[in-house]
Structure 1
Amino acid sequence: MTLADLAWLSMAAYAIHILEEYTFDWRNWARAVIGLPVEWPDFYVTNSVVVALGIAQAMLAPTLPWAPLVYAALMIINAIFFHILPFVKTRGRFSPGLITAVLLFLPLGIAVFRAAGAQGDLDATTVTGAILGGALLMASPVVMLNLKGRPYFDQRNR
């Protein structure tokens, strides 16, 4: 399978992941387990951006292989830090998104890195950049959610 094929499959996997999170009430889980001040509109907008990025990275895969690598890193980071570790830490409390994180995100994320390596597009700098890019993408909505209630960012009383 080509890097572009895997990039499109990654986009599809993310869509299924979003469906799992929504169906099993990720919002209330995130508020209760990880203390994230998230509302459903935040979920919708954030995941709309993830879908747009997924389409972009899949379209760019043939000419810009680092794009699917960043997206793959995002998927792996999401799986480990926002689903698997909280599941372990809470001694088995189900994390909405856990099933697709384990069955889709991890295998596809690893496959993307392997495909990039097989076509000669993987070196230490690229891996580091992809991981940093994925981490920044994962962290940005969390940081913004935590900042939006602060007075400087609150637009309601300005």
Structure 2
Amino acid sequence: MSFQVWAWLGLLAYTLHIMEEFAFDWRNWARDVIRLPVEWSDFYVTNAAVVILGFAQAQISYALPVAALTFAALMLINATFFHVVPMMATRGRFSPGTFTAVLLFYPVALGIYRSAAAEGQVSTVTVIGSVVGGALLMAYPVAMMRLRGLPYFRQTPEGSVGVDQASTSSSVG
């Protein structure tokens, strides 16, 4: 199979993965096991972004191979650090998404790297760039969820003066 076909399979695998996570209540697992302050809306928005990234990486895989390789790295990081390792750490407590992570993410992600190498699309720079990019993509929504709990990022009127409040309370004498 071609590199681009493998990239499209990455999107398919991720779509099935999202469905598994939803079906087996990933939200409550994430709150309980990895202490992630996640809501279903976070799940929907983050996974919508992943699907859009999946379309984009597959479409541009030949022009920008590091995009598809980054998506593959994201799959490997997700499978390993959000499914397999937590299951081992909890002595086998099921992590929603583990079936597709193991049965699809590992073989498809490795297929993406293998096919890219066979087509001359891999260099040390692209591999390092893809791993760094995959790690950043995995960390980004987690960081946003953690940061939004800090006072500076809260969008509530209590204790803060907004632009409208400041302009109406000042007067020129």
TM-score range, shorter chain: over 0.9
Structure 2 equivalent of residue 75 of structure 1: 75
Count of residue pairs brought into register by the alignment: 158
The gaps in structure 1 that reach 5 residues or longer are none
State the distance in 1 between where 2:123 and 2:79 align.
23
Task: Compare CA radii of gyration and give the structure with the larger one.
Answer: 2
Distance 1:90 1:151 in 2: 32
Distance 1:60 1:26 in 2: 30
- In the alignment, which residue of structure 1 is the partner of 2:115? 115
- Give 2:112's aligned amino acid: V
Aligned-pair CA distance for 1:62: 2.1
Aligned to 1:47: 47
Shift of 1:61: 1.1
Tell me how far apart the structure 1 counterparts of residues 67 and 3 of structure 2 sit (CA, whole Å). Answer: 10
TM-score, with normalisation over the residues of structure 2? 0.90
AA in 1 matched with 2:147: L
Please give the per-residue CA displacement for 1:72-108, whole angstroms capped at 9, x wherever unaligned.
0000000000000000000000000000000000000
Q: Deviations over 1:129-154 (max 9, x none)?
A: 00000000000000000000111110
Amino acid at match of 2:28: N
Secondary structure in 1 aligned to 2:120?
Answer: coil
Moved over 6 A (4+): none
Higher deviation after alignment, 101-110 or 56-65: 56-65
- C-alpha distance in structure 2 between counterparts of 1:53 and 1:148, whole Å: 23
Aligned to 2:164: none
Q: Structure 2: how far apart are the matches of 1:145 and 1:108?
A: 28
Matched residues, percent identical? 58
Q: Secondary structure at the match of 2:35?
A: coil
Cα distance in structure 2, aligned partners of 1:148 and 1:7: 33
Amino acid in the other structure paired with 1:84: V
Alignment-derived partner of residue 28 in structure 1: 28
2:6 is aligned to 6
**Shift, 1:65, TM fit:** 1.1
Within the alignment, does 1:92 sit opposite 2:88 as a pair?
A: no
Q: For residues 36 and 141 of structure 2, what CA distance do their matches in structure 1 show?
A: 10
